[in-house]
Amino acid sequence: MISAYIYILVAAIVSTIIRVLPVTVFRKPIKNRFVRSFLYYVPYVTLAVMTFPAIINATQSKISGILALVCGSVAAWFNMSLFKVACICCGVVFVTELFL
């Protein structure tokens, strides 16, 4: 029981350090172009790294997830709305898993 409190305490300390450290270390605006562009793209890369494996693994078969990813990417490439892309992906998964 005590170890659970220790885990929670360590998690809270690490989370606080991660949030407070950048504010205390970087007081001036960052002027380096490389660092600025790196920090600009970090949220997009993090979202992609979390999303793409989930798309493939969320279905019963990886083939249907991969087909939905490809069809959704093509639909998004042709500037379809998010709702249409989601409907296309759901339809592809539904039809693919009917036949697999």
Q: Which amino acid is at 57?
A: N
> What are 21-40's pLDDT values in tens digits?
888 887 888 888 998 899 89
Number of other residues whose CB lies within 10 A of the CB of residue 55: 15
- In angstroms, the CA 88 to CA 71 distance is 7
**Interior angle at CA 29, CA 46 and CA 23, nearest 5:** 65
How many angstroms separate the CA atoms of 86 and 81, rounded?
Answer: 9
What is the reported pTM?
Answer: 0.62
Pairwise CA distance, residues 67 & 90, whole Å:
11
Give dist(CA 18, CA 66) in Å, integer. Answer: 35
pLDDT score of 1 more than 80: no
Read off φ and ψ for residue 83, nearest 5 degrees. -65, -45
CA distances from 94 to 27, 61, 71, 90 (A): 52, 11, 13, 6
Residue 53 has pLDDT above 80, yes or no: yes
